[in-house]
Structures are given as structure tokens and as C-alpha cells.
Amino acid sequence: MYAQLVETGSKRLKTLEEMSPEERAFQEKVDAETKIEPKNWMPEGYRKTLIRQISQHAHSEVVGMLPEGNWVTRAPTLKRKLQLMAKIQDEAGHGLYLYSAMETLGADRDEEIEKLHQGKAKYSSIFNYPTLNWADMGAVGWLVDGAAIVNQVVLQRTSYGPYSRAMIRICKEESFHQRQGYQILLDMMREGTEEQKAMVQDAINRLWWPALMMFGPHDDESPNSQQSMAWKIKRKSNDELRQMFIDQTVPQLEFLGCTAPDPDLKWNEETGHYDFGEINWQEFYDVLKGNGPCNRERISTRKKAIDEGAWVREAAVAYAKKQKQRAEAA
Amino acid sequence: MTQSEALKEYLLRLADSDMILGQRLSELCGKAPALEEEMALMNVALDLVGQARNWYEYAAELIDDGRDADKLAFRRDAHDYRNLLLTEQPNEDYAVTMGRQFFFDVWHYFTLKSLSEANDERIAGVAAKALKEATYHLRRSSEWVKRLGDGTEESHRRMQDAIDILWRFTGELITPDETDELMAKAGIGPDPEQLKNDWHGLVSEVLAQATLTPGAEDAWMYMGGKHGEHTEHLGFILAEMQFLQRAYPDAKTW
């Protein structure tokens, strides 16, 4: 999940009777699974919530390039290097695509990016963890893209048309990334040296819990979920999504021949799901507040890129202006 | 030097230049001046490394000493690398990044155009596909040189500085040696005189449109990359790029 704790601005749900006629018509449309399009009337809270969620999602794609950029110059083979480059390129594309979807709501990309650089906008907490060995490129693809897909598959049915369509397109590419990530790990576990196998287990040990945190706090700690669910921006709760992810991931973990750093992880015959241990929520909130291992580096790298690129963008604008004037004069 | 020796040498030059420039561009991941540029830089880098792989594969077949494309890319030291010095120069600011790309792309475009008609089918095939990519690269870098040259006062100054810094590495692109001449004679590589004229012609045209001044044609040129004598930068590029292969030499798969 690339959006965590998205503020909706509402403390409790309004009943249909309490709504204005416009709000009621809107809610009925949402309830009937009709997509909301940019030109349709929508409650201000819905619009703002979507801007927050989509921008968080877009920021996550962009910041998410950094932990991979950390290894793209050190990828071990031509094939892996090309795969990683293609993945990073896709992510830049997803970022662009999502910012465009966000702009259909009247938000401005530069303004939202400025909020990110000022520390006022969030992005997925997972990207504040460092990538310390090559197997992290596999584990990020498998676990992080895997967790994102669980969420995004559901978001394909989100009520806002442009966001839903962005998700459909993005999901296809993400599942490709996930398979590639898993393959990196599988190849190392099957044919690798002991050192390579140790890299894989080390990557899983470090990224397992942060991946589970991607789904956000427990449902009863998630004050904005109820409104987001009513608006069908969100379609499944954090805990439901997390359980889905665990259930599909543990067999893959076992197939790799690796373990999770969770002694409480075990199959529960009665529920038909895996039980798992409690997430370290203190760590989760610390990272969200800016106190993760790489928060400062991620934001300062992004800010530096945009700040130092200002003269380039200014030149492009000035040149386009001159070209336009020349065309008009001719 | 026999023609078959020259061919192996020539393929490594193509491969290494693509590889090193692709490596330099991928260093910019997450650091581009705009998200659109982020995508474009990675796209160009991806094309170049993809082309490098094709050239390495053919080179490995001809060299035929048990090394595959990965071994050629990740297990040769700097003195065995044959890339143009231009490609290993640091990214610096976006003017240098784009100036380096532009000088390279003009050379690459005309070289691939000629290679796509080579009387070696394998080369012609790889070059024809690469030419499509290089045509886009050239259009893009030409546009950027014009935008920065004829943009603002600051961008003009930076772009002119970039031209001045990089100019000394351009001679190597168009100064033929025995290998280049043998390849031309064999109906594979471009005619050196033609390549030189084409390169100067297009570079002058674009720089003029960009309100920029090229360096002198008789300026002193720094050469040696094609023979394995590099600038100090390449050692560091390889130390990073080859790290895993060097640190885990026993690993058979990745």
C-alpha cells in the first residue's frame, strides 16, 4: 500500500438523511458502483481525500526509485541491470500517470511536490528503509511491490474513475516487477553460493516487517478508514489487506526455503489464515514522523534534484516562449 | 592487425561506449531536474545497456575464449575497456550531461546508420534496431542543447561551459585509427572522412541554432580510450559497476 493514514477530514459518517441533496445523489451513485469522473459534483472532503491519497501514491513511486537507484549502478549482470532500469523507468511513469490523475481533481503537481519536500506530505514508509545488499532488489520487488499490488488490485475498483484506470494500468506492470523480484531471490536460493543465500535471508529479515507496515495501522486505529470506505475510495480495510498479503506470501516464502523473522507466524487451521505476530507500531509511527533510517536522505535527495534542476526547467520555459514568439513573428 | 582482430576490437568499442554511458546515466536515478527527465534518462540508459549487451554477445562469440557477455562487461579492468573517453566523463550539471549526450549521439547516429548497412548481417541487424533508438536520443539531446543554449542567461553560460569542457574529448570520436580504417575497408564501419564531416556538420548546425560556439577544429584533443588508456574516472566507474562480480567471484548465477 503506497498510501497510509490518509486524512479524510471527517469524524463520523453522515447518514443519507443528514446529507444535502447533492451529497445524497453523490453517495447513491457511489453505492451503485458508478464511477465518479472529474466533471461530476463531489463533496469537498472526497476531493481532498483523493488528492492526498493519489499524491501520496505518486510521491511513493518517485521516492521509491531511490532505494533501487542505490543498486542500479551495481547490478551484477546485464540482464539484472536491464530489468532494474526498466522497473525504475516504469516507476517514473507511474509517478507521472498518478500526478496527472491527481491534477484532474484541481491539484497542482508542483505544489504537491513542494509539500513533500517541506515534510508536509507523506509517502510510503517502506522507502525510508535502506537497501543494503543486492538481494534487497529481489525482496523489494517481491514484498514491497507484492504488498502494493494487494492494495492496488482492490483499488482498481475505487470510485474515482481516473484513479481506478491508473490502477488498472499500474497493476499490470507491478505484477511483472513482483515476479522478477521473486525470481532474483529464487535463482540465488537455488543456484547461489552460501553467501548469496545469506544475502536473501538477510534481505527478508530486514524488509519483512516494514512490508507488513505498508498496510497501515490496525482498523481500530485507522480513524479515516470508515469515511474512505463509505466513499469507496478504499475498498478493503488495512487488516483485511494485510491478512491477504500474508496468506499469499507465506507459501512463496516457504518455497524459497527462507524464514520470516516472526516466531508467531503459523497456519491456523480454524480460521484458514496465517496467524502472525504484532507489528512494532512504535517503529511505524516513528518512521511516519520522519524518524526512519533514511527519511532525511530520501527527502533531501528529492529536494536537491528539484532545486538544482530549477535553472533547467526555467531554461525550457524561456526557450518555449522564444520559440512561440518566433513562430508568431514569422 | 587482421580484419578479424579489428572486428573484435571494434565490437568492444561499441559495447563499452554504450555500457559506460548507460552507467553514467543510471547514476542520475532520482536526481533528474524533472520527472519527465527521470523517465527519459532511464529510457536512454536502458537502450544503451541493451545495445551493449547485443554487441558483447557478438564479441564473446568471436573472441570465443569461454567468456560470455557478462564476463566481458563485469570482469575486464580499465585497460581492457575500449570506450570513448567522452562517455566516462562525470555527469556534473545537466548541461554537461546533455552536452556529452549530444556529442555522443551525433557520432552514434551516423555510426549506426553506416553499420546498419554493414555487409555483416549480425551487425547490420543490431545496428538497425539501435539506430531507431539513437535517432530518438539524438532528437532529444539536440533539443536540450538548443533549450539550454537559447534559454536563459544562466543556462546559456552553463551550456557553453559544458561545450568547452567536453570539446577536447570529441576528437576521439572522429579520428580514425587502424581499427576504424580496417572496418571501413571491410564494408562494416563508416568511412572516416564521411563520419568526420557528418559529425561536424550536424554539431555546427545544432550549436548555431543553440546560439553556442563550438571549439576549434584544430583544438588539442584528449584521446586514448579506444586503446585502453582512460581518464581517471573509469577506474571508479568499474569499481562500482563490477562490485558484485568482483566481490563474489564464485557466484555462478545472480
pLDDT in 10s for each residue of chain B, 254 residues: 999 999 999 999 999 999 999 999 999 999 999 999 999 999 999 999 999 999 999 999 999 999 999 999 999 999 999 999 999 999 999 999 999 999 999 999 999 999 999 999 999 999 999 999 999 999 999 999 999 999 999 999 999 999 999 999 999 999 999 999 999 999 999 999 999 999 999 999 999 999 999 999 899 999 999 999 999 999 999 999 999 999 999 999 99
Considering only CA atoms, give the Rg of chain B: 18
Cβ contact, residue pair A65, B35, below 8 Å: no
State the nearest Cα–Cα gap between A139 and chain B, in angstroms.
14
Residues of chain A with pLDDT under 70: 1
Q: Cα–Cα distance between A238 and A225 in angstroms, integer?
A: 8
Cβ contact, residue pair B33, A315, below 8 Å: no
Nearest to B245 among A76, A86, A302 (CB): A76
In a domain, residue B15? The reply is yes
Picking from B31, B47, B76, B145 by the largest number of A CB atoms within 10 A of its own CB, the best residue to mutate is B31
State the nearest Cα–Cα gap between A75 and chain B, in angstroms.
7
Task: Return the C-alpha cell found at A253.
Answer: 516464502
User: At CA A132, angle to CA A126 and CA A138, rounded to 5?
Assistant: 70
In a domain, residue B253? The reply is no
What is the DSSP annotation of B174-220? H---HHHHHHHHTTSSPPHHHHHHHHHHHHHHHHHHTT--PPPTTS-
H/E element, A274: strand A273-275
Nearest to B33 among A195, A301, A309 (CB): A309
State the nearest Cα–Cα gap between A277 and chain B, in angstroms.
32
Q: Cα–Cα distance between A59 and A53 in angstroms, integer?
A: 10
Q: Cα–Cα distance between B232 and B226 in angstroms, integer?
A: 15
Cβ contact, residue pair A77, B74, below 8 Å: yes
In a domain, residue B254? The reply is no
In a domain, residue B252? The reply is no
Nearest to B248 among A96, A196, A318 (CB): A196
Task: Return the C-alpha cell found at B187.
Answer: 564494408
Nearest to B29 among A69, A79, A187 (CB): A69
φ/ψ of A160, rounded to 5, equals: -90, 120
Q: Cα–Cα distance between A150 and B92 in angstroms, integer?
A: 40
Nearest CA in chain B to A99: B35
Nearest to A318 among B26, B74, B152 (CB): B152
Task: Return the C-alpha cell found at A308.
Answer: 538544482
In a domain, residue B230? The reply is yes
Give chain B positions within 8 Å (CB) of A79: 53
Give chain B positions within 8 Å (CB) of A184: 254
Size of interface A-B (CB pairs under 8 A): 146
In a domain, residue B112? The reply is yes
- Look at residue A16 in the predicted model and tell me its pLDDT: 84
In a domain, residue B42? The reply is yes
Question: Quick one: A61 exposed, middle or buried, by C-beta within 10 A (0-12, 13-18, 19+)?
Answer: buried
DSSP state of A75: -
Could you tell me how many helices (H) and strands (E) chain A has, helices first? 14, 2
Task: Return the C-alpha cell found at A57.
Answer: 501514491
Residue type, A169: R
Nearest CA in chain B to A318: B151
- Look at residue A208 in the predicted model and tell me its pLDDT: 98
CB B181 within 8 A of CB B245: no
Residues 6+ apart with CB under 8 A from B49: A78, A81, A82, A85, B18, B19, B22, B23, B26
Q: Cα–Cα distance between B155 and A128 in angstroms, integer?
A: 34
- Which residue intervals of chain B are DSSP H helices? 3-26, 35-63, 69-74, 85-88, 94-115, 121-149, 153-166, 171-174, 178-185, 192-209, 233-241, 243-247
pTM: 0.96
pLDDT for B193-210, tens place per residue? 999 999 999 999 999 999
What domain range includes position B53?
3-247
Reported for A288-296, long-range contacts at CB under 8 A and 24+ positions apart, including other chains, are: A288/A4, A288/A5, A288/A122, A288/A125, A290/A119, A292/A125, A292/A128, A292/A129, A293/A128, A293/A129, A293/A130, A294/A67, A294/A127, A294/A128, A294/A129, A294/A130, A295/A128
Q: Cα–Cα distance between A188 and A186 in angstroms, integer?
A: 5
Give chain B positions within 8 Å (CB) of A199: none
In a domain, residue B38? The reply is yes
- Which residue intervals of A118-160 are DSSP H helices? 135-139, 145-155
CB A237 within 8 A of CB A219: yes
**Domain tally, chain B:** 1
State the nearest Cα–Cα gap between B210 and chain A, in angstroms.
10
Give chain B positions within 8 Å (CB) of A85: 26, 42, 45-46, 49
* Residue where the block lists cell 465518479: A36
- Look at residue A223 in the predicted model and tell me its pLDDT: 79
Give chain A positions within 8 Å (CB) of B93: 308
Nearest CA in chain B to A297: B30
Nearest to A65 among B29, B70, B248 (CB): B29
pLDDT for B99-155, tens place per residue? 999 999 999 999 999 999 999 999 999 999 999 999 999 999 999 999 999 999 999
CATH number at residue B134: 1.20.1260.10
Give chain B positions within 8 Å (CB) of A322: 150
* Residue where the block lists cell 524464514: A259
- Look at residue A58 in the predicted model and tell me its pLDDT: 97
Task: Return the C-alpha cell found at A145.
Answer: 511491490
